[in-house]
């Protein structure tokens, strides 16, 4: 079963960390992806650009409304994600606890709905 592990944290807190500490977190995340790959659980992972680079798209009355972001009310921003293949929710939660971003923010664990007919 596939799970999306969504990493949330305060961008300002992260950017105010020393560069060496930010690099250590990235290195740990990369190491985790290699560990997950080694046991067949890794699907994909990536950090995201800062929320200020976001573009929000809504369709209202049949017309797209495009707004520069971020304008979503939240204390933490989505910083990145891991897409993993885990046996069950318990195993996905265990993996989430190993994500370095969990130490400075939150990792949300969401099961994917697997549907047929999508391109691989």
Residue 112 above 80 pLDDT? yes
Name the residue range of residue 54's domain: 2-111
Structural domain includes residue 97: yes
* Contact present, 11 and 80 (Cβ < 8 Å): no
User: Which ranges constitute the DSSP H helices of 47-105?
Assistant: 89-96
Please write the tens of the pLDDT for every residue from 22-68.
999 999 999 999 999 999 999 999 999 988 888 888 899 999 988 88
Residue 73 has pLDDT above 70, yes or no: no
Residue 50 inside a domain? The answer is yes
Do 81 and 101 meet the contact criterion of CB atoms below 8 Å apart? no
57 backbone dihedrals φ, ψ, rounded to 5°: -125, 125
pLDDT value of residue 35: 97
Domain count, the chain: 1
Mean pLDDT calculated for residue range 86-114: 94
Distances 43 to 48, 68, 111, 114 between C-alpha atoms, Å: 17, 30, 14, 14
Say which CATH number the domain at 49 has: 3.30.70.1060
- The pair of structure tokens assigned to 4 is 């999306």
Q: Is residue 118 a part of any domain in this protein?
A: no
């Amino acid at each position: 079963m596939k799970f999306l592990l969504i990493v949330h944290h305060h961008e300002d807190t992260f950017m105010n960390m020393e560069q060496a500490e930010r690099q250590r977190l990235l290195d740990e995340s990369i190491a985790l992806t290699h560990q997950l790959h080694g046991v067949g659980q890794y699907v994909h992972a990536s950090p995201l650009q800062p929320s200020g680079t976001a573009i929000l798209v809504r369709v209202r009355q049949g017309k797209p409304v495009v707004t520069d972001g971020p304008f979503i009310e939240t204390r933490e921003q989505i910083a990145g994600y891991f897409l993993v293949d885990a046996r069950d929710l318990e195993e996905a939660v265990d993996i989430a606890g190993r994500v370095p971003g969990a130490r400075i923010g939150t990792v949300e664990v969401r099961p994917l709905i697997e549907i047929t007919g999508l391109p691989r």
